[in-house]
Amino acid sequence: MSVLIRDGRIITATDDYVADLLVEDEQVAMIGRSLPADADLVIDAAGKYVLPGAIDPHTHMEMPFGGTVSCDDFTSGTVSAAFGGTTTIVDFCMQQRGQSIPDALATWHEKIERCPPVGDVGFHLAITDLDDGGRLEDIERLPDEGVTSYKLFMAYKGAIMVDDDTLYRTMQVAARSGALVMVHAENGDVIDILIKQALAEGRTEPRWHAATRPPLTEAEATSRAIDLAHLAGCPLYVVHVSCEEAVAPVARARARGWRTWAETCTQYLFVDETMLDEDDFGGAKYVFTPPPRHRDNQERLWHAIATGALSAVSSDHCPFNWRTQKVLGRDDFSKIPNGAPGVENRLQMLHHFGVRTGRLTPSKWVELCCTSPARLFGLFPRKGTLAIGSDADIVVWDPDKPVTLSAASHHSNIDYNLFEGTEVLGSPEVVLVRGQVVVDGDELVGPPGTGRFVRRARFGAELPVAVA
């Protein structure tokens, strides 16, 4: 079906102008003024923004963790994403201890076959076990499968944490194979000691989740990962940077011209450590890792994303229901499943509190949520921009649409919203995935299966586009 979007304000990471946009055969076919109105569907976008579909490079759908499983699958999770203007997610395929790399990847492919996505899905491979030496060869072959990023956890000792041996050997493989290494940077050994000491003293409340993961444990691990990646000659992406102490080594590396990038997540711009003290175990809603920090860090993070020290904003969407899953840690903060929702509200929060307040230009907003993730994760220029031949992943955004964020109205399976009751202006009006309308106003009109697995290019390469 052909679609003509008329008179919209087209915003990319580099441009901001009013024009028409024509979609044919799942791609952007023409951009210009006064295009012929003979398309199958005509959308009047006057007074609206027209954006590339957003990319969330950090989600955890149906992920086993801490004796339970995150409550969104690839259908519910991508429906939630689409209602927030995100048309592509890159999810973490988690290797289990003793599991082969091919089996881990097959497990995640089975998940999207069983619960078909509404938007497109790519995979990172989270490596937890290299005890079998043959697994290095399996990792090196992953880019041939369209999986061009590897994640390693420097925290969660005794579960998914890796040592420096595994970290460095994977970095060497990435340098050879054209992949990007991602790290969850916290000093897991030190944190493990602090957790045991707190529990021995009877400190069991959610607030001790933050107290046992102080900013310096994040800063030390971030600095160590940057140095090791530089030594190995591989590009590095640090996930969910939460504090000034961890921004500093990233900024130093980038100033030196090292191949280092990092993201923060929406929650670190708005949630602070005092929320862990919410009554009646309500603080468990805000147990995610790294933890919420002192409020002073929020201004530092806004500055870092505005100036380019941090290159993207993800959601780290990892939803566990408060009433039925977070309660696993009611008597022991270390057993609260770590994670929170956010894939649906990322663009809304950044638009209202970033663009509308002047902290971010509209183009910087698009860069952080669309273009930079596409470039870093091998999806550009097929995704992350609006250009002739690019996938027609498009959001018609009403910048003045009032929305009250709430668990009562969001589309995730989770029973709470991190930003409950927050009133924002700006939300998607129409969302297209490769030219098919999937969200129209408050209605889901695109069926599960509209989305598909996307193979990503090696780091630094670009996906070819079919020019119309």
Dist. CA 80–CA 84, nearest whole Å: 7
Q: Is the peptide bond before 214 cis (omega within 30 degrees of 0)?
A: no
**pTM attached to this predicted model:** 0.97
The mean pLDDT value for 402-427 works out to: 98
Write the secondary structure of 148-201 as one string of H (helix), E (strand) and C (coil). Answer: CEEEEECCCCCCCECCHHHHHHHHHHHHHHCCEEEEECCCHHHHHHHHHHHHHC
Number of other residues whose CB lies within 10 A of the CB of residue 404: 13
Q: Is the pLDDT of residue 199 over 80?
A: yes
For position 43, what pLDDT does the model report?
98
Q: In which band, very low, low, confident or very high, does the pLDDT at 134 lie, cut at 50, 70 and 90?
A: low
SS3 3: strand
Q: Is the pLDDT of residue 226 over 70?
A: yes
Whether residue 6 contacts residue 37, with contact meaning beta carbons closer than 8 Å, is answered with yes
Token pair 């955890």 is found at: 60
Dist. CA 230–CA 454, nearest whole Å: 29
335 backbone φψ class: left, alpha, beta (φ>0; ψ -120 to 50): alpha
Dist. CA 434–CA 371, nearest whole Å: 16
Domains of the chain: 53-376 (3.20.20.140)
Of 71, 5, 69, the C-alpha closest to 41 is 5
The least confident of 120-134, 319-333, 376-390 is 120-134
The two tokens of residue 219 are 């800063």
Task: Give per-residue pLDDT as tens, 74-89.
Answer: 999 999 999 999 999 9
Q: Is the peptide bond before 428 cis (omega within 30 degrees of 0)?
A: no
The least confident of 38-52, 86-100, 132-146, 270-284 is 132-146
DSSP structure class, residue 376: H
Token pair 């230009």 is found at: 361
CA 235-240-245 angle, to 5 degrees, is 90
Tell me which amino acid residue 217 is: T
Q: Is the pLDDT of residue 461 over 90?
A: no
Q: In which band, very low, low, confident or very high, does the pLDDT at 98 lie, cut at 50, 70 and 90?
A: confident
435 backbone φψ class: left, alpha, beta (φ>0; ψ -120 to 50): left
For the chain, give the number of residues: 468
Whether residue 382 contacts residue 63, with contact meaning beta carbons closer than 8 Å, is answered with no
Of 455, 427, 414, the C-alpha closest to 82 is 427
CA–centroid distance for 409 within its chain: 21
C-alpha pair distances (Å), 405 with each of 298, 325, 417, 430: 20, 22, 7, 18
Of the chain, the percentage scoring pLDDT greater than 90 comes to 94
Dist. CA 327–CA 315, nearest whole Å: 23
CA–centroid distance for 219 within its chain: 21
Token pair 């100036």 is found at: 307
For position 432, what pLDDT does the model report?
98
The mean pLDDT value for 367-381 works out to: 98
Tell me the pLDDT of the chain averaged across its residues: 96
Of 369, 443, 405, the C-alpha closest to 89 is 369
Q: In which band, very low, low, confident or very high, does the pLDDT at 467 lie, cut at 50, 70 and 90?
A: low
Dist. CA 335–CA 174, nearest whole Å: 33
Q: How many helices (H) and strands (E) does the chain have?
A: 12, 19
Q: Is the pLDDT of residue 466 over 70?
A: no
For position 132, what pLDDT does the model report?
65
Tell me which amino acid residue 281 is: F
Of 465, 446, 322, 273, the C-alpha closest to 385 is 465
Task: Give per-residue pLDDT as tens, 385-397.
Answer: 999 999 999 999 9
Token pair 């969330």 is found at: 56
Sequence-distant (≥ 6) Cβ neighbours of residue 196 within 8 angstroms: none
Task: Give per-residue pLDDT as tens, 238-297.
Answer: 999 999 999 999 999 999 999 999 999 999 999 999 999 999 999 999 999 999 999 999
Q: Is the pLDDT of residue 133 over 80?
A: no
Give the strand pairing for 236-238 and 180-184. parallel
The two tokens of residue 444 are 């889901």
